[in-house]
Amino acid sequence: MQNKIHVRKNDTVMVISGKDKGKIGEVLSVFPKHNKVLVKDVNVVTKHQKPSKENMQGGLIQKEAPIYSAKVMLYCTKCKSVTRISHKLLDDGTKVRICKKCGETF
Ligand SMILES: [Zn+2]
């Protein structure tokens, strides 16, 4: 069974806890199985890269690591704040998510 994650790829979210609290970033990918999301420039960790043909020395690379989806909230770029969303069914049957504060659709 897959967990339901409240944000989707390309959503803008704000981190609400942890060392990156307050950071705003774009969701790069979601991992429903692990209940985690990957957010641009959030939870950046330094990884060691093994030496390769292109890079004989190997080295350190900076890369985002996934964080628990519960640590992020959807950020409305219109209200400029975190928001809750509600779902709305359009006349043609399409389900859209709207910002509860300003009505912006996501
Ligand atoms: Zn809004």
Ligand 1: centre distance to CA 82 (Å): 8
pLDDT at 106 over 90: no
Cα 86–chain centre separation = 18
Task: Using the mean position of ligand 1's atoms as its centre, give its distance from the Cα of residue 100 in Å.
Answer: 7
DSSP designation for 2 = P
Residue 67 CA to ligand 1 center (angstroms) comes to 24
- Provide the pLDDT for residue 50: 86
> What is the per-residue pLDDT across 37-84, written as a single tens digit (0 to 9) for each?
999 999 999 988 888 888 788 889 899 999 999 999 999 999 999 999
Place of tokens 């939870």: 43
Cα 74 to averaged position of ligand 1 atoms, centre (Å): 10
Q: Please report the pLDDT score of residue 24 as a whole number.
A: 97
- Give the pLDDT confidence of 33-47 residue by residue, as tens digits: 999 999 999 999 998
Q: Degrees (nearest 5) of the Cα angle 77, 45, 13?
A: 15
Task: Tell the burial category of 8 from Cβ atoms under 10 Å away from its Cβ (0-12, 13-18, 19+).
Answer: middle
- Tell me, in angstroms, the distance from the centre of ligand 1 to residue 25's CA: 16
Of 69, 6, 74, 2, the C-alpha closest to 36 is 69
